[in-house]
Amino acid sequence: MSLHRIMADHKVTFTVEDTADPIVASIPTGTLLSDAARQAGVEVGQPCGGQGRCGRCAVQITAGNVRRRSTLRLSQKAVDNGFALACQSVVEGDASIFVPAQEKIARTLTTDRIAAEVSVPADYDFATSQTFKRISLTMSPPSMDDQTDDWSRIQTALRTQADINDIKISLNGLRNIGTMLRECNWEVTVIIETDPNGGPARLVKVLPCHVNKTDPLWGVAIDIGTTTVSLWMVDLITGKVKAQVAEYNGQIARGEDVISRIIFASKNNNENEMRELVLETIDQLLIKACKRLNARPAEVVKATISGNSTMMHLLLGIPAASIRLSPFITAVNNLPLMEASEIGLHIHPEATVDCLPGVASYVGADITAGVLSSGLDETEDMTLFIDVGTNGEIVMGNRDLQITCACSAGPAFEGAGVVDGMRATNGAIEEVWIDGETYEPTYRVIGNSNPKGICGSGLISLLSEAFLTGILDKAGNVNLTLPTPRVREGAHGAEYVVAWGTETDSGQDIVLSRVDIDNLLRAKAAIYAGFTVLADQVGIPLETVAKVQVGGSFGKYINVEKAVQIGLLPDVEWDQFEFLGNTSIKGAYQALLDWRKRKQIADIASRMTYIELSADNTFYEAFTSALFLPHTDASKFPSVQAALQKTP
């Protein structure tokens, strides 16, 4: 009798806060409580991917047998009260579990209603820019005298009526043509995709009868961000973006950052779950966009996809473990064209899926697409391009050269790793001003409610104000001698109170502690050190760059002046900054429209020089120098020096 056979099942009862009936599941000995919850259909968030680090999956054992492997993130009091980390606890007998209500992400994403209109490239011309063609064919029906098979008949029609001499078709296509031709009485419209490199064209779809030349032909540009997935639905005939939708990436519950996701995916069979989660998100977006346009997802014949290398691997079910482990290698940077049915995307099954190329594990297609849409690779001016999202990727260059690196900034500016940090949703303090005499703060809260915490832009603004008013010194130490109760010794070292409990949602004080400050300094130092290394490689002083382009939603919300004041951005003139929004999806959109732009992204990816910072000798020194406000070398930040002199 094998071990497998003698393993007993246990009755595990889950009671979820704010729901009516408990859920009972039969769970084998040795199952992780987080897996058991999943099997029972109970949602327990795992922002760290099940590493036992974040503490967000804490549940309460109200009865029975559960073995805790780690309680790292739980206080002794919580453990005494029966709390356990679901990802670190193993079912060993019948048990009853109380699951606290899970944090819901408020939906405040870019959609048509708030998005800027996208202008179609001036030179867009369906006939010459696009790889797709829509061709109406009229064929004579087969007869006893003309016994040509259906596929040869289509090939002949394409040759004689559209000068297409070499065309291929998938098995799925072959399954459909016969019925279609007969139902439509040998008059059909075919959608084909040509190969700009001279390879055979491909039959993508057969449409019944003739269509109007002005009827839309749908394509989608997709950006898979670690946090947000965006989709633009585009009429390939006119090139117009007809709908913009976005949604949080469904993988978030299995890890907030790429590292946590890789860890989760690398566990048994989870690769598939990760794949399905993001596919579900894309499905939702497709449905939403199609509904708005009165279209069907099956009418979409091409998807151009951008995203960082981890997102691309997880989307395609390609193991991503090697991305996380030194020496940090992707399985593939240049993906072949695929068909939608291969990857499980629910558009037309034979639709083309074009996954844009990346450069390295931490410089993905989002950056190559971003560089294309920013125009960096076409300008004479030396330009610094930064995309601060969950990671910080940087490119320095111009039309002659492009050098790139990735900074493991960590998600501090997304509110993680900061005690009172949070995402930029309702209740987040998004900007702070501090009076230089009284040290009293004023703040603005998203949604105008009572504050719940501080988001990234709020943290930058708070750090800057605290520094300029002398609450913090250059090294980030809190000056406890100031005459205000807002500076004090707290549980995590010295701290500054931003909001008293009487003002807040939870009744607890919202503070910025020494530990938080260190996390924020490390994050900004990592990014700034990245700038320094790239500038050294190019051989110019960082301050002499002609332009600083900021991509991602980060640039949309932060106060640049304050970001310069804490040393997160280089101290250049205001008019040298450009804020470009989601450069990744903009690049995907351009590549979707124009095969020459797609080729340009491939060129960018193949020419870009990647610097692995963890292997770079100058990085550590640059990082250490940047761990100060704004920097060890104050002369690099003349505007900050001027501001400090103005402050009393």
Instruction: Give the binding site for its own copies (CB under 8 A).
Output: 142-152, 168-171, 174-175, 177-179, 182, 199, 316-319, 321-322, 326-336, 338, 342-343, 360-361, 610, 612, 614-615
- H/E stretch holding 276 reads helix 270-293
Structure tokens that stand for 469 in this block: 């008013």
Distance between CA atoms of residues 330 and 396, nearest Å: 22
- Tell me how far, at minimum, the Cβ of 322 lies from its own copies, in Å: 6
Distance between CA atoms of residues 363 and 394, nearest Å: 9
Helix (H, G, I), strand (E, B) or coil at 442: strand
For its own copies, the closer CB: 330 or 390: 330
- Tell me how far, at minimum, the Cβ of 316 lies from its own copies, in Å: 6
In order of 117, 421, 589, the CA distances from 228 in angstroms are 20, 19, 17
Residue 61: what are its φ and ψ, rounded to 5°? -85, 110
For every residue of 1-13, DSSP letters joined together read: --HHHHPPEEEEE
Alpha-helix runs per DSSP H in 493-594: 514-538, 554-557, 560-565, 583-593
- Tell me how far, at minimum, the Cβ of 304 lies from its own copies, in Å: 17
For its own copies, the closer CB: 44 or 203: 203
| Bridging pattern class, strands 402-407 and 383-388 | unpaired
For its own copies, the closer CB: 169 or 428: 169
- Tell me how far, at minimum, the Cβ of 603 lies from its own copies, in Å: 16
- H/E stretch holding 261 reads helix 258-266
For its own copies, the closer CB: 158 or 487: 158
Burial class for 66, CB neighbours closer than 10 Å (0-12, 13-18, 19+): buried
- Tell me how far, at minimum, the Cβ of 606 lies from its own copies, in Å: 10
Q: 3-class secondary structure for 170-230?
A: CHHHHHHHHHHHHHCCCEEEEEEECCCCCCCEEEEEEEECCCCCCCCCEEEEEEECCCEEE
Distance between CA atoms of residues 420 and 545, nearest Å: 36
For its own copies, the closer CB: 243 or 355: 355
- Tell me how far, at minimum, the Cβ of 254 lies from its own copies, in Å: 19
Who's near 526: CB < 8 A, 6+ residues apart?
A: 392, 407, 408, 409, 410, 623, 626
- Tell me how far, at minimum, the Cβ of 271 lies from its own copies, in Å: 9
Helices then strands, each counted (H, E), the chain = 20, 27
- Tell me how far, at minimum, the Cβ of 534 lies from its own copies, in Å: 16
For its own copies, the closer CB: 165 or 334: 334
For its own copies, the closer CB: 63 or 329: 329
- Tell me how far, at minimum, the Cβ of 327 lies from its own copies, in Å: 5
Burial class for 165, CB neighbours closer than 10 Å (0-12, 13-18, 19+): exposed
- Tell me how far, at minimum, the Cβ of 169 lies from its own copies, in Å: 7
For its own copies, the closer CB: 265 or 428: 265
For its own copies, the closer CB: 197 or 212: 197
Neighbours of 542 (CB within 10 A): 21
For its own copies, the closer CB: 312 or 526: 312
248 strand-pairing partners: 228
Q: Answer yes or no: are the C-beta atoms of 112 and 243 closer than 8 Å.
A: yes
| Torsion-angle region of 420 (φ positive above 0: left; ψ -120 to 50: alpha; else: beta) | alpha
- Tell me how far, at minimum, the Cβ of 159 lies from its own copies, in Å: 15
For its own copies, the closer CB: 5 or 175: 175
- Tell me how far, at minimum, the Cβ of 172 lies from its own copies, in Å: 9
For its own copies, the closer CB: 253 or 259: 259
Burial 592-603 (b: 16+ CB within 10 A, else e): bbbbebbebbee
